[in-house]
Amino acid sequence: MPHPNVIVLHTTEGGSWPDYSGGSVAPNFTVKGGQVRQHFAANESSRALVNKSGGVQTNTLNVIQIELVGTCEKGGPGLYWPNASDADLKPLADLVRWLTQQYPIPLVSTSKPWLAYPSSYGSKNGQRMNFAEWTNFRGICGHQHVPENDHGDPGNFPIDRLIALVKGGKPAPSKPSSGIVALSAGVRPGARHPQVKDLQQLLIKAGYGPIKGAVTDYYGVNTQAAVARFHDRNPKYKSIGLIRDPRIGPSGFVALQKLAGRR
């Protein structure tokens, strides 16, 4: 997915980390407590939505999917997300902030209602998008809003508070975390991450290669040298005190995408 532009929120309806049937129905990310686990690259299609033949695309339509460990049903297992506190929402807000900085995802909710479960189940109560609405949507929605699906999660989720936290919070720290090793957070030499391949392709297209050998997920010496050439020609993206910074932060990565012809 070159330009993800939608975030879909789910609840797992359980209190522990799911195994997603060995990954066959996994989202991009799972949030539990203060932890985030990543199952697919942010710009890679994941598998948590029903995608029927002959209709519209769901999993593959530039959609980043986030599962929240807990429930949308009162009395269900784990955290009841409609009553989540700001502290409960903070790890999700940090993740959404990073995603909306990295990709062209508007920080807005769907205009469809976020209905309480079980009213949110099915398609009879006006919350689910039709095919055209879904295809044209950009922003944040829930599983209950996606066509070809009948699930009602995440219920009457506090979407306005989430967006307010994302807007009012501090920028994500510019260092790798245990949950997300991302280009904008700084992939260090010697690391492996699916998005390194994207970085290598951008460097080659923008004229900062060549990178010897096949494009891979490994941030090796050749990738580091290409990044150094980018910093040499664009000194404003260097880190203070470093002659050659082996990382590309958010503004540098955006600039590199533009140089490579991406908008």
pLDDT of 54 reads 86
Confidence of residue 237 (pLDDT cuts 50, 70, 90): low
Q: Is 26 helix (H, G, I), strand (E, B) or coil?
A: coil
In the beta sheet, which residues pair with residue 32?
Answer: 35
Is residue 56 within 8 Å of 131, Cβ to Cβ?
yes
Residue 246's Cβ-side half-sphere holds a number of Cα atoms within 13 Å equal to 14
pLDDT digits (tens, 9 = 90+) for 6-35: 999 999 999 999 999 999 999 999 999 999
DSSP strand pairing (29-32 vs 35-38) = antiparallel
**Average pLDDT over every residue of 83-104:** 94
Whether the upstream peptide bond of residue 194 has omega within 30° of 0, thus cis, is no
- % of the chain beyond a pLDDT of 90: 60
pLDDT of 218 reads 83
- Mean per-residue pLDDT of the chain: 85
CATH topology of domain 183-259: Muramoyl-pentapeptide Carboxypeptidase; domain 1 (1.10.101)
pLDDT digits (tens, 9 = 90+) for 110-152: 999 999 999 999 999 999 999 999 999 999 999 999 999 999 9
Domain range list for the chain: 6-168, 183-259
pLDDT of 3 reads 87
- CATH code for 6-168? 3.40.80.10
